[in-house]
Amino acid sequence: MAKILVTGGAGYIGSHTCLELLNAGHDVIVLDNLSNSSEESLYRVQELSSKKLDFVQGDIRHDQDLDKVFNQYQIDAVIHFAGLKAVGESQQIPLTYFDNNIAGSINLTKAMERAGIFKLVFSSSATVYDEANISPLNENMPTGMPSNNYGYTKLIVEQLLEKMSEADPRWSIALLRYFNPVGAHKSGHIGEDPQGIPNNLMPYVTQVAVGRREKLSIYGNDYNTVDGTGVRDYIHVVDLANAHLCALNNRLINNGCRAWNIGTGNGSSVLEVKNAFEKVNGVSIAFEFAPRRSGDVAISFADSTRAKEELNWTAKFGLEDMLKDSWNWQKQNPDGYQK
Ligand code: NAD
Ligand code: WQD
């Protein structure tokens, strides 16, 4: 069992990963500045696991916060979620994104180097793939220039980490390229709690269902897809959390820097998601068709063979589970962690 530092551990994917880590018997230390989360998620993680974790409120951009953690705990590996993720906002305040996501990641790896820790799992994104690639996307396909500054920070950090590990063979880095994380722990006690108007499809759908939003705007119905709406690879957040444990096991014994896609390999259109949500949950979702959203691609889904073969990871949950669990969380927590 290992002692794992989880940056951004109070957030959506981080909290689910902390729970899986605790359930697997690991010790967990969370470093989070709570800029997009609340400590309530961590109380709930501890309740669900009947285990304790350590929480340090701090910022990956601040050396003193990082050194304090690395001096206080004998960390074996770091899972790095901390960062900003709102695509639209990244176009308005790019420097804030570069600072949190790029400078923050550089700061973190410098602190790891000072502490002699070289095992890292990094939250990357399918957005790093060149838009010209045809799905299913595999890790040998070229990356491209992402259409927004958020995606750009993910690409840059991937490249920095690759170069760092080329220069110093002590590093062992997993780049996990997430497709579209949705769903929640089956208890409905932890889940996704976006601030303000959701950018992503699933929280928007659940907020319409719970009466917080009037109707869903479906961005584009003239794509070259099964029904004209955009196709994505939705992945249950618990499956995604478990991919981090698989990557950790791999990185504890191997060195170098390597990328893995984390998706189910299945594409679903926006209309398919909306219709399936209505059917499995017995609620109706008001919607309208709206113009395409700038920067969106028509189709994106994963080839996840590499994760299966090398990490022994596969997705266990299907779309119905994702939709049921998203709704179970939202229904029990109509205003998220605010209660
Ligand atoms: P989230 O916002 O719920 O979690 C991120 C956490 O990081 C939050 O708790 C926030 O308070 C914390 N944080 C932000 N800046 C920080 C800083 N400077 N120092 C310390 N803590 C900081 O987001 P999430 O959906 O859980 O995403 C986790 C990671 O996965 C992010 O890096 C995100 O970019 C990446 N990712 C997410 C998705 C997605 O669709 N959710 C897809 C691909 C990649
Ligand atoms: C999914 C589909 C939309 C909202 C983004 C980031 C990516 C990653 C995950 C996070 C698309 C459509 C959406 C709505 C809609 N990042 N949609 N109405 O765009 O695939 O990926 O989130 O950290 O980097 O780009 O996900 O959930 O926003 O959209 O019709 O109100 O739903 O057009 O086809 P996306 P999404």
pLDDT tens profile 138-147: 999 999 999 9
The answer, yes or no, to whether residue 339 has pLDDT greater than 60, is: no
Q: Which of 234, 220, 222, 228 is nearest to 267 (CA)?
A: 234
Residue 64 near residue 124, CB atoms below 8 Å: no
Looking up tokens 């070229």 gives 142
Q: Which of 127, 98, 122 is nearest to 257 (CA)?
A: 122
Tens-digit pLDDT profile for residues 247-262? 999 998 899 999 999 9
**Segment (H or E) for 12:** helix 12-23
Residue closest by Cα to atom 22 of ligand 1: 82
Q: What is the pLDDT of residue 256?
A: 97
Q: Is 316 helix (H, G, I), strand (E, B) or coil?
A: coil
Residue 270 C-alpha to ligand 1 middle, in angstroms?
24
Percent of the chain's residues with pLDDT above 70? 100
Tens-digit pLDDT profile for residues 67-77? 999 999 999 99
Q: Which of 272, 16, 219 is nearest to 123 (CA)?
A: 16
Ligand 1 environment, Cβ below 6 A: 7-8, 10-14, 32-37, 59-61, 81-85, 100, 104, 123, 125, 178, 181
Mean pLDDT to the nearest integer, 173-192: 98
The answer, yes or no, to whether residue 224 has pLDDT greater than 70, is: yes
Tens-digit pLDDT profile for residues 183-223? 999 999 999 999 999 999 999 999 999 999 999 999 999 99
Quote the distance between the C-alpha of residue 275 and its chain's center.
25
Mean pLDDT to the nearest integer, 260-276: 98
Confidence of residue 234 (pLDDT cuts 50, 70, 90): very high
Tens-digit pLDDT profile for residues 23-56? 999 999 999 999 999 999 999 999 999 999 999 9
Q: Which of 8, 152, 18 is nearest to 81 (CA)?
A: 8
Residue 260 near residue 174, CB atoms below 8 Å: yes
Ligand 1: residue of 5, 16, 34, 36 to mutate (most ligand atoms within 8 A of CB) is 36
Q: Is the dihedral of CA 47, 50, 51, 52 positive or negative?
A: positive
Ligand sitting nearest the alpha carbon of 271: 2
Residue 7 near residue 55, CB atoms below 8 Å: no
Q: What is the chain's mean pLDDT, rounded?
A: 97
Domains in the chain with CATH codes: 3-187+234-263+303-315 (3.40.50.720)
Q: What is the pLDDT of residue 338?
A: 84
Q: What is the pLDDT of residue 24?
A: 98
